[in-house]
Structure 1
Amino acid sequence: MNLKTTFSWLLPSFPKRKPVRLQYLPLLCALEVCLSSAFAATLPSDLIGATEHFLEQSVTEYLQRSEIHGRHEIQVNSLDPRLRLAGCDTPLNVSLESPAQPVGRVTCRVRCEGSSPWTVFVPAQVRLYRQVLVATRPLSRNAPIQPGDVILAERDVGQLTQGYMTNLSQVAGKKLTRSVQTDQVLATTHMVMAEVIRKGDQVVISARSGGISVKMPGEALSDGGAGEQIRVRNTRSQRIVRGRVIGPGAVEVQM
């Protein structure tokens, strides 16, 4: 009797894979975007945007705090497009590295304080335009400044390293210590008080105490501009005193 052995293999049965329902596709796509952004590099455009936002806030606060009236422009320098930094899982921290105030050429420190920390320095230019005094014509050294010699004009004060003035009253009664050209910005270092009294001039010395006022003739022993202290001699008593110039030929002393 021939025995015929029959072997059979039972293949494991796998459950059929259910197709992904269409309503889940948006969730899967959103998850993919989140994962990719979490590991994305920080690009130069991210650094520039963060720096611009920080400087805009800093300049606005500085102008309000200092009560400065003017307009400003911010330009962040271009960065190397090949720059690649690790993606930051915390908001970028931006601070002003130099100078002390956000005007002129500035440098900002941009930091990532997340799981992959890094620091980058980003240069920028902040232009602050204000109305400042400029010469209307060429003016010579020692020339007293007249009302028509200066006007207010808009300039970028971040470029005015020697200083500037913003009010016409700042040049009243003053003279130039150097020659200036048309449209040149005037600075306080360019001028001193103009002498309204010169040494040897005959002056009137006035002294006040309460409601009492006394006047006497005198002689100026030094030059002086309005508001300055000079030495004068009382020509009656020959006494020498110090007084404040209050105008042409007039000196006031304390009693």
Structure 2
Amino acid sequence: MRIASRPLLVVLLLCPVWAWADGFQSPESIRDAAIASLGPGVQAEVRVDPRTRMPACAQALQAAANGPASVAVRCADNPGWQLYVPVRRADGEPLAQAAAPARAGLRPLSGRRLKPVGFTPEPEAPPLVQRGDPVTLVSRVGGMEVRMAGRAMGAAAVGATVSVENTGSRRIIRGRLVGPGVVEVQL
């Protein structure tokens, strides 16, 4: 019985090795891309969990410092992926000071996401209702319209989803703000 179980044990131990060769990016290549993004001569400790299973990337991995203690490693395939790798420099300096220029139109930002260079977010609309403001709940079905009194549970701009308390039933309902003090609900 012992002899028959050894080949099975060998097969089970080799399965993780076969898995990396079968369509997954190796953790070592992710680690190497993170180290390369720090620039030449920078000594750092980079940890990538050996159990990481990201789809294999047909293109070269892109990486950029993403704050003082992480590097964003990205696969630009379609669909691609992005992984944040924790990094600690040996000299204790923050990564942002030693980071090489971002590659392929990406730039490091404080926060957790990378955005293309030249990206300008749309300005946010100011909130039209604030928490506690009285609102009118409107529900339309067919040719019928029902209106109820409510109280906003948070701030919202036109088009945003907001939670509202129905003042009659004390039930919390989510709806979309369609105008000043008017929340449309789907029932």
TM-score (norm 2): 0.37
Structure scoring higher RCO (CA < 8 A, sep ≥ 6) equals: 2
TM-score (norm 1): 0.27
